[in-house]
Structure 1
Amino acid sequence: MGRPSRAHEVRRLILDGAADIFSRRGYRATSMNEIAAAVGLSKPTLYHYFHNKEEILVRLYEEVMSDAVDDAVEISESVEDPREVLHRLLVYRVRTTCERQSIHKVFFEEEEELPRDLVETVIEQRRRYEDVYRTQVRRFLDDHPDPPDIDVTVFVNSCLGAANWVYKWYRPDGPRTPEQLGREIAFYALHPLG
């Protein structure tokens, strides 16, 4: 695999810069001029890579969902024990959300700004992502000699709520690394499984 192209590097710079600004100022309050200035590009150069602000937002959403689904599937296929799969999924979710806090804040707070046709795609991708969790919980319950009495959907939504909400309160200078925080949240979230 070769080195990323200059165009890929510039797009990455723009997406990361836009996520940071959107997370601080909000999507609507941010202009293309501000994005260009933040990443050290002229406005015409920025428009060479992205036609408008909406295209940047769409790319951010597509990236978050695609990465989340791909990573969840990879983890679920690489580990046999369903409880361990759930543990790894939650640790990964927390760690990724902490490490890419800006983009996740945008993801969770700017959905109403998406074009209508993309909203359905995001919902479908989210469903696919949650299905990975539901499948693992059902596998665990089916294999358990004395399964706990839990509602699978409520359980999964509670786990994901705990994992996703860290974008609101995680501080990089806090007492835990993203990995440590992920392990701790996974421990608490999976406790009902025994």
Structure 2
Amino acid sequence: MKHKIIETSISLFGQRGFKETSIQDIVDQLGLTKGTFYYYFKNKEEILVQIHEQFIDDLLEQQKRIMERDFSARDKLHALVTMMLRNIRTSVNSAMIFFREMRHLSEEKLAYVRKKRDLFQQNIEELVQEGIERGEFRKELRADMVSYMILGITNWSYFWYEPDGEVAEEQLADMYTTILLQGMEQRR
């Protein structure tokens, strides 16, 4: 039941927003009582925290698998961009909640989620730095700024990209990485 409450909350928060969705909306959607809700959760924020944790933990796990591959920094970067775009199709509501609803977390919970979000960014930064050190990317690049640029491009895609539209996620990932890599590659 706990999983069903979380899944229903993801759907409702994604459609209406966290603040606009009440506990009553969640239990009505499932045909439950508020007592059942409170058996599993103290409040709505607890669900929001779990949604954030599930989303970032899943991204970190996928990122880790990509980073562990014996690929060039260039190929890992392409795989990361593809993975982030694939998550739009597989987890669009969770992604929207992650980016849009963070402001509703308490300071303590926000600090916890930010640590994981920062780790995701730092891993990209390390990959870019590795590419610079291997001579794959230009020496004058700042790995931190490049990592933020990559996240900015991919994260904003959650707000406008339609995975079932004219452009497949692989095509969009190819476009993004081609543009990124052409600007980052070491000139020969």
**Same-fold status (TM-score > 0.5):** yes
Which residue of the partner structure matches residue 156 of structure 1? 147
CA spacing shift, 1:145–1:169, aligned 2, 3 Å = closer
CA spacing shift, 1:146–1:170, aligned 2, 3 Å = closer
Q: Residues 21-60 of structure 1 correspond to what in structure 2 (within 5 A)? A: 21-60=12-51
CA contact (8 A) 1:99 1:178 kept: no
The AA in structure 1 aligned to 2:114 is I
CA distance in 1, matches of 2:61, 2:11: 24
CA RMSD of aligned residues (A): 1.9
Q: CA deviation at 1:123?
A: 1.6
CA contact (8 A) 1:11 1:49 kept: yes
The AA in structure 1 aligned to 2:68 is E
Which residue of the partner structure matches residue 3 of structure 1? none
Which residue of the partner structure matches residue 173 of structure 2? 182
Any runs of at least 4 consecutive aligned residues in structure 1 with deviations exceeding 4 A, and if so which?
A: none
Q: CA deviation at 1:60?
A: 0.6
Q: Which runs of 5+ in 1 are unaligned?
A: 1-9
CA spacing shift, 1:117–1:145, aligned 2, 3 Å = closer
SS at 2:68 equivalent: helix
Q: How many residue pairs were aligned? A: 185
Q: CA deviation at 1:177?
A: 3.0
The AA in structure 2 aligned to 1:46 is F
Tell me the TM-score normalized by structure 1. 0.86
CA distance in 2, matches of 1:161, 1:146: 19
Q: Which runs of 5+ in 2 are unaligned?
A: none
Q: CA deviation at 1:82?
A: 1.1
1:91 paired to 2:113: no
1:12 paired to 2:8: no
Which residue of the partner structure matches residue 109 of structure 1? 100
Tell me the TM-score normalized by structure 2. 0.88
Q: CA deviation at 1:146?
A: 7.3
SS at 2:55 equivalent: helix
1:65 paired to 2:65: no
Q: Residues 123-142 of structure 1 correspond to what in structure 2 (within 5 A)? A: 123-142=114-133
What do residues 130-188 of structure 1 show as CA deviations (whole Å, max 9, x unaligned)? Answer: 11111111111111177253221111111111111111012243112334333332333
CA distance in 2, matches of 1:168, 1:101: 9
CA contact (8 A) 2:81 2:177 kept: yes
